[in-house]
Amino acid sequence: NAGVMQNPRHLVRRRGQEARLRCSPMKGHSHVYWYRQLPEEGLKFMVYLQKENIIDESGMPKERFSAEFPKEGPSILRIQQVVRGDSAAYFCASSLRWGRQETQYFGPGTRLLVL
Amino acid sequence: GQQVMQIPQYQHVQEGEDFTTYCNSSTTLSNIQWYKQRPGGHPVFLIQLVKSGEVKKQKRLTFQFGEAKKNSSLHITATQTTDVGTYFCAGPEFQGAQKLVFGQGTRLTINP
């Protein structure tokens, strides 16, 4: 029973390039969350998606960042024209369904380094 | 907005000593969750507390949810080197929300 999968695990980009991060939720899970973690800090919520819908993107910067969770395939977090401040670990989590007590299971993360 | 704060930020102990981290929310929480993140790893779910005053144990770990449902603690008895990591608490932004607000974590290091 595979857990949440993320790729790539490490990504190096130069300033101005695009970064594309992928997340495959646990089998049967239809809810995906993206978090960002800066070094020595906690996790900051970015966006919550269900299949084909963005439910809550209140934590995602309005410029350069976008997220999708298509009917088929993984969820994608896209960062355009990356800057050094985007360097962080990006974690995806998934849950079985919406519910106030639903556990979120985290993937291994993508460590993004912007040169 | 809601804030979740943890203290201490860092804790270094000798192996075998006890360890406690405290979590405080600026608002009442419908539930609180605890995660552990090993260095270089990802958050791993430990437990969820829902009821006021709830206490749950997992081997040497004891989790407590305050009566007012605004604070929580994690206590580890007789730490072992495998306990090293950062412990985060997290709560829903508001009742019914899926968005989790995380504390900044307590990093535990252990001297063997």
pLDDT digits 0-9 by tens, B86-98? 999 999 887 777 7
Residue B31 to residue A100, Cβ atoms within 8 A: yes
Alpha-carbon distance A113 to B86, whole Å?
22
Alpha-carbon distance A79 to B82, whole Å?
36
Picking from A43, A48, A95, the nearest residue to B43 by CB comes out as A43
Picking from A95, A100, A105, the nearest residue to B92 by CB comes out as A100
Closest CA to B47 of B58, B37, B39, B60: B58
Interface probe with A: pick from B28, B42, B100, most Cβ of A within 10 Å: B42
Q: What is the average pLDDT value for chain B, to the nearest integer? A: 94
The pLDDT confidence band at residue A84, using thresholds 50, 70 and 90, is very high
Chain A residues contacting B via beta carbons under 8 Å: 31, 33, 35, 41-45, 48, 55-56, 58-59, 91, 95, 98, 100-109
Closest CA to A78 of A12, A19, A5: A19
User: Cα dist. A88→A1, A26, A56, A60, B49 in Å?
Assistant: 28, 23, 21, 14, 30
How many angstroms from the chain centroid is the CA of residue A105?
Answer: 13
Six-digit token string for A72: 């088929």
- Minimal-distance CA residue of chain A relative to B51: A101
Alpha-carbon distance B1 to A107, whole Å?
27
Picking from B45, B99, B103, the nearest residue to A105 by CB comes out as B45
Q: Which residues of chain B neighbour A104 with C-beta distances below 8 Å?
A: 33, 45, 100
Residue A100 DSSP label: T
Say which residue the tokens 């995380």 belong to: B102
The pLDDT confidence band at residue A1, using thresholds 50, 70 and 90, is low
- Percentage of residues in chain B with pLDDT exceeding 90? 88
Alpha-carbon distance B19 to B97, whole Å?
31
Alpha-carbon distance A76 to A58, whole Å?
17
Nearest-neighbour CA in chain A from B77: distance (Å): 24
Q: Is the bond preceding residue A70 a cis peptide, omega within 30 degrees?
A: no
Q: Which residues of chain A neighbour B102 with C-beta distances below 8 Å?
A: 35, 42-45
Give the burial string for A81-107 (b: 16+ CB within 10 Å, else e).
ebeeebbbbbbbbbbeeeeeebebbbb
pLDDT per residue as tens, chain B (112 positions): 778 999 999 999 999 999 999 999 999 999 999 999 999 999 999 999 999 999 999 999 999 999 999 999 999 999 999 999 999 999 988 777 778 899 999 999 999 8
Six-digit token string for B80: 């072992």
- Minimal-distance CA residue of chain A relative to B89: A42
| Mean pLDDT on A31-56 | 92
Pairing relation of β-strands A110-114 and A10-13?
parallel
